Structure 1
């Protein structure tokens, strides 16, 4: 948990992912950053006297005994114009785990402490370098699964969401000021805001909030990836189809019923859209408790899915068990896959009882790859149905921000109902104040320590 009482400590951490690589970066932030780096750094240039801001200095990093650790490039970014708003040093080492660990150990021995999760970005927020919506966008940028998600995060990192929230708050605060005047000077002949005018302004603000919430729903697949669940009877070819879609063997394929007992999940990129393919246990009657639990888990996943691929063996007629399995499914998010087109008994008419239920069907052979490219295109189209490509400047809130916006919108709806119901202006003013304070939770102007800790604890150490 981030402790505000330790906000003046000098902190350090490895800022690049674990593992071996060409380059690894160690970041130091705080009042001792420059002093610590200078005590461990030997510049290659004889003219070097001190770190110059925003320049890379080449040299050697040594330990407390003067033993050489690595050739490095060191950059110094002075406060307040750094990522954290404090003095920051970044040391570019070779990316080996032993090298980075040894350099970090020396830095910590000089008076820095190991940074907590998200502490660099937390300090940037606390020092006014970014608002809370921008801080959250940093994490969204790091974890963006697609290029579109990356652009959506960049929009928020630029501060546009925070600016929009401040604009909406300003309009509501102007309304509140007019209500306060009416309450404080009831005897004066001042032009007073009518309930109808108040409702008009409030509903305009609410409409803009609704636009942002609809953008969240519309862009969810781009930001989070889409869940596509493979379902069907045992030996219909679900695992073979998953392997074919992935282009490699991930699921075990056998003639033995019940091979997939719970579920397997892998991701595939379909023209910039991340699809989370989930292969579930084959549908059949079973006395195996583990397999029965897997079937129940599969049903739950189908309820959560953006798209259900119901695979059936179309080399034989569809029976009542398959029809009974498809009937309760949401047809708007179900795509029947008529598999085994390579077998002699394959007949498109075998799938007609399923399409008669109102579901779309696609023909493939998971074994030979016939129809797989067409199926991939159709999966992508069905997942994005009605969504399209995100607008480059679209403001799409995350789940926490959406919850805050929904709360503010509900407060404004109650305000409008109270205004038209003749509730006194002083009570309406309280509702406006609550709506403004709620919106302030997005930018972090009014946010509890518990919420801040939950946000920054989701970051990696070093960011």
Structure 2
């Protein structure tokens, strides 16, 4: 991939943002060079690195290039495709990237993924990974309500900036309050209540 792909996940209640980036290699392609530079920026900012190797090909020159960039970071070396005939042994991994321990996995069969999750949780609980103080919203209804509340509050700021009378802000302020109330349950309309109950099996 040449693009940065981001996704939010939760591991045992710990919210994490996963970022998949372009690979790193020497290239004359301008677009690919931009992707490589973006990957390097992401590596600098990352709190935890998952450096994946293909167990069936052995350690390639590109792998050694990436290893030099991630050395000293917090994270793991993922040895993927271990369900096939591996060409990589743990001995060849030692010293490849300082600070990154190896984890054998198979994305096809799922082997090793639970071990990886547990190791990530251990890193977080040990204070080795900064998970930040942000809040991850996983409910679509809540997200939409927050977006609409934000837009209404922005209109309030616009009204203030234009020097308009404060009573002109009343509608937007009330709209923001109602949207936030839909999340807390204080201003739920009947249509919202119907949607909530339609998602659950009640009284059976």
Q: 2:8 aligns with which of 262, 267, 270?
A: 267
Displacement of 1:355: 2.2
Q: Is the 8 A contact 1:323 1:353 kept in 2?
A: no
| Contact persistence 1:262–1:291 (CA under 8 A) | no
Q: Indicate if the aligned counterparts of 1:309 and 1:335 stay in contact, CA closer than 8 A.
A: yes
Deviation (angstroms), 1:268? 1.0
Alpha-carbon distance, 1:397 to partner: 8.8
In 2, the alpha carbon distance for the partners of 1:387 and 1:306 equals 8
1:355 corresponds to which of 82, 94, 103 = 94
2:113 aligns with 372
SS at match of 1:376: helix
Contact 1:364 1:370 in 2 (8 A): yes
Aligned residue number for residue 404 of structure 1: none
Q: 1:334 corresponds to which residue?
A: 75
The one of 19, 27, 31 aligned to 1:286? 27
Q: How many residues align?
A: 136
Q: How has the CA–CA distance of structure 1 residues 397 and 311 changed in structure 2, closer, same or farther, with 3 Å as cutoff? A: closer
Which digits, 9 at most, give the CA deviation of each residue in 1:357-394, with x for residues without a partner? Answer: 33311000111111111111112222332379xxxxxx
The correspondence for 2:127, drawn from 374, 380, 386, is 386
**2:111 match: secondary structure:** coil
The answer to whether the aligner puts 1:324 opposite 2:58 as a matched pair is no
8 Å CA contact 1:314–1:340 kept in 2: the answer is yes
Distance (whole Å) between structure 2 residues aligned to residue 306 and residue 293 of structure 1: 22
Match of 1:437 in 2: none
Q: Measure, in 2, the Cα distance between the counterparts of 1:461 and 1:290.
A: 42
In structure 2, the residue corresponding to 1:353 is in which secondary structure? helix
Larger relative contact order (Cα-Cα within 8 Å, sequence gap ≥ 6): 1
**1:461 counterpart residue number:** 176
RMSD, aligned CA: 2.9
Counterpart contact for 1:306–1:383, Cα < 8 Å: no
Query: Do the aligned residues in 1 keep the contact of 2:24 with 2:62 (CA within 8 Å)?
Result: no
Distance 1:385 1:266 in 2: 24
**Structure 2: gaps (5+ residues):** 135-160, 162-174, 181-204
Structure 1 CA distance for aligned equivalents of residues 26 and 128 of structure 2? 38
- Look up the match of 2:43: 302
- The DSSP-based 3-state class of the residue aligned with 1:292 is helix
Deviations 1:24-50 (A, max 9, x none): xxxxxxxxxxxxxxxxxxxxxxxxxxx
Q: In the alignment, what sits opposite 1:313?
A: 54
TM-score (norm 2): 0.58
Structure 1 or 2, whichever has the larger Rg, is 1
